[in-house]
Structure 1
């Protein structure tokens, strides 16, 4: 689980007031997305209590009939002929599913956000109000369940919700989703393919070393092995997060070497290519900026926007801001964008009507338990006059992200000869 934002961390100058909160997070702990390393860990983990209720609701053809709940058990056929199907107990996990651990970590993140932004700062309403919140999620069960846990399990627990509470989550067609580097962008695929060749060359010796150290468990380790370096790391990280012991020979050195190669596999293109950053996560950067612009202009009453995504959401976003620490974003990681205005500020429309001067706005970014100082905000004129370099002027922040946002994503995504 990622380190939670500090409940008492962050200095809030007396002359500023918080006006907008945006939270981008990775989903909570999940099972591996495929069956791997079964000589080390069970293929099925009984850590998903929600499965006892999945697909259990039957809607009758008779509209007057009530919904029925039919107990469900999974029978999984074994590959060998004549082998009896294996009966999975209630609570058995599907591949890539949010687990009990993941649900708890997302509820804990929501609870910490409540401590900071409701109990301490009195910014968000004490009781859930759907008119103050918007939620976006990728079209994956684990991301939608994660944000459900964040909001209904921690930020607004049952005693802080009305009886008619409904959590509205917006999703997009995966073909057009902008919350991860979308493979439907052909130019992005082209850039990533070129990047993989470089990564293979950069880490050819490390691949040999990892293959030797992990030969008891896999035939080889590379970007294209079966399982791949990413698949191996994903399974080991997920297993460790759920309390499984790793063999002594899979030590921190092995895990860090796997992490190094997987980071370059997924993020090297974005780290070295401005074009890749634009096409990969630039549209989400634009959405985050635009919500701030709307709030500063006084045309959006929402106080909180939540974006529920993946490691491939968080990593590229940190890269675009120039603050990536070259570590894989842990489960339930969060990037928090705070927009402030000087107290007594008039919204832009009232300023224009009455000829009053619009006061400055500031942006601060948190990543897990860290308050970040964006590289583009270090000049004296680009941060708050009190010297706090984490309080970026809104103008400086807009300059940082301006070139990260594609003007026409579909056109820029065409193959280049």
Structure 2
């Protein structure tokens, strides 16, 4: 971290950070699935499966403390005390991400930065309409502080489907979820599974289950081993050493193949975020609002989705409390010049066609707008029959930077159907035109005969 800050000093001297987007994975948690070794010694008590632990809370508190130093103390991006229009916080509706967000915000705005009552005389008025035990003593201890120790409370939002698509694409994008399921039967995926068949044999033997059941156990087991390994807890010898190394690698490769291969899936995974990022950066450049810090508290899959959509896959599960930091930087010497930087766990990244880790805003926006679908919600609801089956059963050999063209995803037989339909429609139109021409000629001939008869009969209108 010290090296990264040292390298960023020239930027801080000549440029100003005017906007930040942060995406973080929640902190350390309990395993998503408990196995006998977890419950035998009560190592996770009193926490249920998948819950944030005190260690995870501390991770995010320290993140908040560091970002306070960067964006409040050093760069003055944010006010020293909470100002609502400056910062928005969104989280998935999961305990561990909500608690991670709150823990980080306690570091960003620590106790001592919270508000006082607006008027001294409101001490006796700011009470609920019920009797409170020891109310007088509590009020005396609080004094003018709204909360103990001048604690600051910051809202965390988690109520919109669009934000769920943005942070957890597989759960709220039916088409993406469907395409991932198709990839499970692809040749390259099945070959990878066969190469790691020994892992499933070990699982089947230990739990005394079939190979099929072992496959169902595998995802939860790998997560369990990863978490126990992080805490330094012991697991059965069968799942230590080479088994863990191979299982961890296998799980990472499998996720890469089924969630982000071919490139179409990577774009589905990250489109919603890229579109939102484009909107936020544009607004910040135009100073369209007072917003200066956008914080998303999410998951490892969220970070992988974004990295893959940006064509920056690293194939590894992001550690607990991992962060992506997008900074919009304005040139102090030339205020019309803006650049974007992206750091993953404080390591600067080069994105798309950007000349360096500091990318001109126009170049960055051009890249992410090309990677994102124009309407991700509509794309997520597309008809399954438009799937290009061939492209999903073998690795992609090229990266697409254009929109997902409906017609490009059609198989040959759909082209036949479309061609036949086109011919039928054109033929029908021609037939109608010929019929109308013949009918007009017939009507014209009839009128000519009537005129001839009238002349012979010396037809006169009545008076």
Q: TM-score, normalised by structure 1?
A: 0.75
Based on CA coordinates, which of the two structures has the bigger radius of gyration? 2
Which residue of 116, 141, 155 corresponds with 2:108? 155
**Offset at 1:278?**
3.0
**Offset at 1:8?**
4.7
Instruction: Output the CA distance in 2 between the equivalents of 1:5 and 1:215.
Output: 47
Instruction: Output the CA distance in 2 between the equivalents of 1:108 and 1:221.
Output: 45
Which residue of 321, 337, 340 corresponds with 1:360? 337
The SS at the match of 1:203 is: helix
5+ residue gaps, structure 1, are 48-90, 347-358, 379-388
- When structure 1 is superposed on structure 2, of 124-133 and 258-267 the one drifting more is 258-267
Instruction: Output the CA distance in 2 between the equivalents of 1:377 and 1:236.
Output: 39
CA contact (8 A) 2:222 2:248 kept: yes
CA contact (8 A) 2:24 2:296 kept: yes
* RMSD of Structure 2 on Structure 1 (CA): 2.8
CA contact (8 A) 1:135 1:307 kept: yes
Change (3 A) 1:244 1:161: same
Question: Do residues 41 (structure 1) and 30 (structure 2) align?
Answer: no
Instruction: Output the CA distance in 2 between the equivalents of 1:45 and 1:168.
Output: 34
Q: Which has the higher contact order (CA 8 A, sep 6+)?
A: 1
* 1:7-406 paired onto structure 2 within 5 Å: 8=6, 10-13=8-11, 14-35=13-34, 37-38=35-36, 40-42=37-39, 92-152=46-106, 154-162=107-115, 163-164=145-146, 165-173=152-160, 177-178=164-165, 179-198=167-186, 200-214=189-203, 217-219=206-208, 225=214, 227-343=216-332, 359-378=336-355, 389-406=356-373
Number of residue-to-residue matches in the alignment: 347
- When structure 1 is superposed on structure 2, of 120-129 and 331-340 the one drifting more is 120-129
| Cα deviation 1:145-170 (Å, max 9, x = unaligned) | 10000111x22211233345331111
CA contact (8 A) 1:176 1:182 kept: no
**Offset at 1:219?**
4.8
Change (3 A) 1:115 1:254: farther
Partner of 1:356: none
Change (3 A) 1:321 1:224: farther
Instruction: Output the CA distance in 2 between the equivalents of 1:222 and 1:159.
Output: 57
5+ residue gaps, structure 2, are 116-144, 147-151, 386-463
Change (3 A) 1:202 1:10: farther
Say which structure is richer in helix.
2
CA contact (8 A) 2:204 2:214 kept: no
CA contact (8 A) 2:189 2:257 kept: no
